[in-house]
Structure 1
Amino acid sequence: MEPKLAMLTIVEFFYDFVISTLMGLFGLHLITKKGGLLAAKFLGLSFIAICIRIVLAYFITGGRLIQYPHTFMLVSPIQFLAGPVGFLFVYFMLYPKRKFRVWQAVLFLPFVLHTAELMPFYFGPVEDKINEINLMLRYKSLVDFPGTVTFFSPKVLTFIKVVLSTFYVLASFVLVILYILKNRISLKFNRFLLNWMLSYTSLGLLSMVFIIAYVMGIIGFNNLQFSYADLLMHLAAFVNLGVVLSRPALLDHHTFKILVERLDQEHRQPDPNEDAEKLKKYEEYAKRLEEFFAKEMPFLDPDLTLEKTAKQIGITTKELSRTTSYIYELGYPDFVNSWRINYIVDKRTSHTEWREYSQDMLAELSGFGSRQSFHNAVNRLHGTTPASFFSERASNR
């Protein structure tokens, strides 16, 4: 007798197809972006991992598993992948200048070994998969049934996954807390990023509480049918998705790099007498500077200078130079050029005629003054030519 398939609810459809698609697209974009930071790569990998888990969960629930036996056990190795990927995402967000080390590669050993042991099952007869599925359905549990596929029983294997996942989530949370305690000045001027990391790791801990409660049978998740409670297992992933949706500029390599490298206390060069109160001024100057640029658009003047801008916002040239360097990790000329480039991007998005303008015309209308200055600025800030830069932006819309 064929199992009765469950009807998709609106929430289930949104979760299984809309959210998973967004995460998959974001993940592919971040991973394939040339020259991206390691933090961006691991964020992208975490998006792809959760996308795969959501899609495969669709086939496990609602009576669909017996119809798609080849999907059985595919998600199991991903559960070993999520922990180290999440931890390394946090690690390289906090320490972007550090290189990938051998000890970090070792973290992926359980994922590799588990994938290897499942290969005979994946490529084996479909009858073996159906027999294993029927055994699992008889016990009505993805955890507590006498599986025959892996070296460890499903129950022991689940215990190992939970222990490792808890370790990585705890390690990530401790890493963030220690960083904040050690770099209190950084906290004052990087609240968005550090609050992101704190929310991500805190909700990761909360998710582990629900997962442990489920494994122990305290909470009755129905793992053979979709349940709203299942969403609680992915709270941390939803934080990352929400951050990217609220600030899509993070998908741009240059913007992501500026944000993350502001945290880099190991390589940032402070003023000799720098202190928290002095740094507080730079944040105020940055606010004043952004308001001036947004309202008056002085960057459209090709003769705009450091002196003119400093005079307009009422600070010294040294203070202005220090503000763009510390707050944006950019020299003053690059800061101005970034506004000019963004101005062109906005105009090309909202006015179709701007997409037909030559580079000479774009340079003139945006304050660069010359085509060569325009080309040099795009190459320095984005590592490509204006034509390639705008072509990529157009394809991402």
Structure 2
Amino acid sequence: MDAIFTSGIFMSFFIALLLFTKRNKALTDRILAVWVVFIGLHLLSYYLYHLGFWEMYPHMVGITAPFPLIHGPMLYLYTLYSLRNDTKLRMVDYWHFAPFLLGYLSMFEFFFFYSAEEKRLVDHGEVDDFALSTTIMLIGFIVSGLSYSILAYRLTWKHKRKIDDNFSYEEGINLDWLRYCIYGIGIIFFTATIIIILREGLGVQFSFNADFIFYTLIILFIFYIGYFGIRHQDIFAHNTDVIKNNPSLQEKYKKSGLREEALQLGHRRLLEFMSSQKPFLDPKLTLSGLANALEMSPNQLSQIINQQEAVNFHDFVNRFRVDEFIRRAMQNDNFSLLAHALDSGFNSKSSFNSIFKKHKGMTPSQFLKSGRMGGN
């Protein structure tokens, strides 16, 4: 356990150092750097407590007690500014840290007016002067952690809808890595909530130190961030600028004023253009690019696709790519499936496989095998 804690603490400060010294830092880099510093201090404080330092130096008691209240806001702000162009926090963002600061304010008397012996008695539970304050912070931790995890996930979900409305690809602009981070933090908060309810609410006595579960998950999360930062630079880069100025169009097209006749005419033009010109062969095809080729506005094209095809732009374009792949693969089996996929407009093997299975319900090889057998 000592090795796990020391490596987790080291990794926290190491990642923070990399982010603070990074050239051309984005706001998200600074937010993440500050966040992992707090995580490192939180781990260090608990590790010192585990080693008995609080018993030897009672003035360390409770020094990081409000820290759990900062993780939710940091997750939310990191997610929020992964989707914005801002270079600094807005004034309203600082209000997210009010519970964290109030936690320290509630402990002001304890920090500055209690003697070492009194702090030791509080730590041992022999004095319950701060029982109410501790309970409020525990409840605040549960509410904050779960609420901010949900809010952060909603931001990535809205981002996913923007991508599907405006792009025929996801590579380089999706936030799957961030969703995984949110899942991880959500699991940590949920686990801590269960432990707190069982131990503090129902009086369950664990035969082991249940806190180790919570802190071990935090350490694993830190290693995940470190691994992702090395393997996928997206987590430390501002790669979402391409969609910043492309809002979701699903609400706007409802007020566009296009009548049924115009929708049907535009739909026929769209299908003819897709069949004759095959713009979907461009792996980087976007809604605005296709709209320009058709000499209509992106808003109108989005309305036509959504109302006439009942799908978003991403699914509409990739349906043509799937059909093109099938046509090419059935006519010529001298090339690999990946070669046919790339020639059909897909730009990676992973996206091709997932999109094909979504549209056809089976893998490309399974589909072609069943098709050829059926043809025989």
* TM-score where L is the length of structure 2: 0.58
User: Is it true that 1:60 corresponds to 2:49 in the alignment?
Assistant: yes
- The one of 190, 196, 207 equivalent to 1:215 is 196
SS of equivalent residue, structure 1 residue 189: coil
Q: How does 1:66-145 map to 2 (within 5 A)?
A: 66-97=55-86, 100-124=89-113, 125-135=115-125
User: Is it true that 1:244 corresponds to 2:229 in the alignment?
Assistant: yes
* Superposed CA offset, 1:104-134 (max 9, x none): 1111111122223334433443222212112
User: What is the alpha-carbon distance in structure 1 between the residues aligned to residue 107 and residue 42 of structure 2?
Assistant: 17
CA drift of 1:62 comes to 4.8
% identical aligned pairs? 15
Q: Which amino acid aligns with 1:240?
A: I
* Distance change (3 Å), C-alpha of 1:208 and 1:45: same
CA drift of 1:263 comes to 4.6
The corresponding residue for 1:158 is 138
* Superposed CA offset, 1:298-324 (max 9, x none): xxxxxxxxxxxxxxxxx9xxxxxxx9x
Q: How does 1:275-286 map to 2 (within 5 A)?
A: 276=314, 277=317
* TM-score where L is the length of structure 1: 0.55
Pairwise CA RMSD of aligned residues? 3.7
- The one of 177, 184, 190 equivalent to 1:203 is 184
The corresponding residue for 1:44 is 33
CA drift of 1:182 comes to 3.0
Q: Which amino acid aligns with 2:69?
A: F
Query: Which has the larger Rg?
Result: 2
The corresponding residue for 2:241 is 261
CA contact (8 A) 2:76 2:149 kept: yes
CA contact (8 A) 1:207 1:234 kept: no
Report the count of equivalent residues.
Answer: 258
CA drift of 1:90 comes to 0.7
CA drift of 1:51 comes to 0.6
CA drift of 1:228 comes to 4.6
CA contact (8 A) 1:221 1:227 kept: no
Higher RCO (CA-CA < 8 Å; seq separation 6+): 2
CA contact (8 A) 1:43 1:89 kept: yes
User: What is the alpha-carbon distance in structure 2 between the residues aligned to residue 243 and residue 71 of structure 1?
Assistant: 34
Runs of at least 5 residues in structure 2 that lack an aligned partner in the other structure: 248-285, 299-312, 322-342, 348-376
User: What is the alpha-carbon distance in structure 2 between the residues aligned to residue 121 and residue 34 of structure 1?
Assistant: 42
User: What is the alpha-carbon distance in structure 2 between the residues aligned to residue 217 and residue 210 of structure 1?
Assistant: 11
CA contact (8 A) 1:180 1:187 kept: no
User: What is the alpha-carbon distance in structure 1 between the residues aligned to residue 111 and residue 46 of structure 2?
Assistant: 17
* Superposed CA offset, 1:235-261 (max 9, x none): 65443233114346966xxxx23x343
Runs of at least 5 residues in structure 1 that lack an aligned partner in the other structure: 1-11, 139-145, 282-314, 316-322, 324-397
User: What is the alpha-carbon distance in structure 2 between the residues aligned to residue 15 and residue 28 of structure 1?
Assistant: 20
CA contact (8 A) 2:11 2:223 kept: no
CA contact (8 A) 1:16 1:58 kept: yes
Q: Which amino acid aligns with 2:122?
A: E
CA contact (8 A) 1:203 1:235 kept: no
CA drift of 1:230 comes to 3.9
Q: Which amino acid aligns with 1:88?
A: L
User: What is the alpha-carbon distance in structure 1 between the residues aligned to residue 149 and residue 168 of structure 2?
Assistant: 21
* Superposed CA offset, 1:145-193 (max 9, x none): x63247x332232112211121111111111112212322558324685
* Distance change (3 Å), C-alpha of 1:117 and 1:97: same
